[in-house]
Structure 1
Amino acid sequence: MLKKLQLEHILFLDIETVPEFSAYAELSEVKKQLWEHKSQYQRKEDVSAEDFYDRAGIWAEFGKIVCISVGYFAPKANQRSFRIKTFYGEEKQLLQDFKDLLNTYFNQAQHLLCAHNGKEFDFPYIARRMIIHEIELPSKLDLFGKKPWEVPHLDTLELWKFGDYKHYTSLKLLTNILGVPSPKDDIDGSQVRDVFYKEKDVERIVSYCEKDVIAIAQVFLKFRQEKLLNESEITSV
């Protein structure tokens, strides 16, 4: 079934998120109470809400998006061409720019969004942050009233589950077992907060995010039993 999809109709994406503020102390008293309640079920008894705040980025209510990287296959004579682009900077603007991309180039019925664990994280996170910033949802993220088979989302984690709802496999593990090249990075997801707030090096985060987009596209090609992309076929735009 996957082989029937045209690669040019799929937008591969990944997001990187951080806590909304650099430190717990910057939260209002009300927000501190809300954070304590929200995180209570995940914190161990000896871990305070303040100590747990470095993980706030995984919740759209307490975090924010620092970049959205996308990749797509562009038609090119006699050769595949995979193009990478990243939106970063002030969150409201990057969300608006991402929406403009969807509305301009990926707004038809045949167009699909693809991410790893996207249905549980990336897609709802982007939608929630758009609502917070009072940005009208693009059709590809507005799921209200859609039947399951009408939702224009692909998820490489879901594809790998094969119906097993208990099974979680990280993108890093999936690339390893499928033989997809995974460049050694100097950071991982748990370090994004410090790189953003302490080192103030968003370009480093962008590079990390773009590599994940390439990895997602490579995994998708593996699912279709097609040849992997090589470096000459990948360009930044």
Structure 2
Amino acid sequence: MIEKVNLNNILFLDIETVPQETSYLGMDEETKKLWEQKTQYQRRDEVSVEDFYEKAGIWAEFGKIICISVGFFNNKSDIRNFRVTSFFGEEKQILKDFSNLLNENYNLTAHLLCGHNIKEFDIPFIARRMIINGIALPSKINLFGKKPWEVPHLDTLELWKFGDYKHFTSLKLLTKILGIQSPKDDIDGSEVARVFYIENDIDRIVTYCEKDVIAVAQVFLKMRREDLLVDDEILHV
């Protein structure tokens, strides 16, 4: 039961990703061919490989991480405190900093990672990019040989499915129906690449990523039938 999980043992997280290149033309010829092969079923000849490249950020082989935001409770007795921070900049350093955080502060069995669609997207993407960048996987995301019930992750998308594995609910929809402030009040995932490459506004992306982390924490509280966080309980560090 999620009501029994100690909130102080959970690291809430979200990542933002973009295509590795500013455009399709930035890839070498071999990579272009591999991109065409990789996406042939998704495109179904309805969109050119060049135009479809704007979606490259959802594949770890063709995308990269530009921000990882995390949040954690530091509750003491009846006082709640939720702290949010972000890693951004050069991808390899982002991954090193995040790995250090997990290894130093979230390496016990009781520690859990939590996000929306974290099992299908965030964690696999982070793991793949770490391997590509030559970074050892922290134990919390090294899932080789683990049984499903041994995976130390809480996924709000999975929790909301209640066993209905064909059901998908976006974080935006989930916050709406649960009466939680939407994290998509400025940009959404489809606009991140444009804001990063065209507007060069990483601060705007960091703010968006941190809002997602806060929203996931709020959803988790709602599922536990607990009061939502108020602004005074949230600290950006």
TM-score band, normalised by the shorter chain?
A: over 0.9
Equivalent position SS for 1:22: coil
Q: CA deviation at 1:77?
A: 5.0
Q: Distance in 1 between matches of 2:170 and 2:17?
A: 17
Q: Distance in 2 between matches of 1:183 and 1:76?
A: 27
Equivalent position SS for 1:120: helix
Could you tell me which runs of 5 or more consecutive residues in structure 1 were left unpaired when the two chains were aligned.
none
Aligned to 2:209: 209
* Contact 2:172/2:183 (8 A) holds in 1: no
Q: CA deviation at 1:182?
A: 1.9
Deviations 1:115-137 (A, max 9, x none): 10000000000000000001000
Aligned to 1:106: 106
Aligned to 2:124: 124
Q: CA deviation at 1:44?
A: 3.5
Equivalent position SS for 2:42: coil
Is 2:197 aligned against 1:197? Answer: yes
Q: Distance in 1 between matches of 2:124 and 2:184?
A: 29
Q: CA deviation at 1:76?
A: 3.4
Q: Distance in 1 between matches of 2:43 and 2:190?
A: 16
Q: CA deviation at 1:185?
A: 2.3
Is 2:154 aligned against 1:154? Answer: yes
Aligned to 2:59: 59
Q: Distance in 2 between matches of 1:149 and 1:47?
A: 40
Q: Distance in 1 between matches of 2:173 and 2:186?
A: 17
Q: Distance in 2 between matches of 1:129 and 1:22?
A: 18
Q: CA deviation at 1:29?
A: 0.5
Q: Distance in 1 between matches of 2:78 and 2:46?
A: 60
Q: Distance in 2 between matches of 1:76 and 1:110?
A: 18
Aligned to 1:38: 38
Equivalent position SS for 2:181: coil
Q: Distance in 1 between matches of 2:193 and 2:218?
A: 27
Q: CA deviation at 1:149?
A: 1.1
Equivalent position SS for 2:123: helix
- Alignment-mate amino acid for residue 19 of structure 2: P
- Alignment-mate amino acid for residue 162 of structure 1: F
Is 2:22 aligned against 1:22? Answer: yes
Could you tell me which runs of 5 or more consecutive residues in structure 2 were left unpaired when the two chains were aligned.
none
Distance 1:77 1:2, change over 3 A: closer
Percent identity, please: 68
Q: TM-score, normalised by structure 2?
A: 0.98
After superposing on structure 2, the runs of 4+ consecutive aligned residues of structure 1 that deviate more than 6 Å are: none
Q: Distance in 1 between matches of 2:40 and 2:18?
A: 19
* Contact 2:183/2:208 (8 A) holds in 1: no
- Alignment-mate amino acid for residue 25 of structure 2: A
- Alignment-mate amino acid for residue 121 of structure 2: F
When the two structures are aligned, how many residues end up with a matched partner? 237
- Alignment-mate amino acid for residue 51 of structure 2: D
Q: Distance in 1 between matches of 2:25 and 2:50?
A: 8
Aligned to 2:143: 143
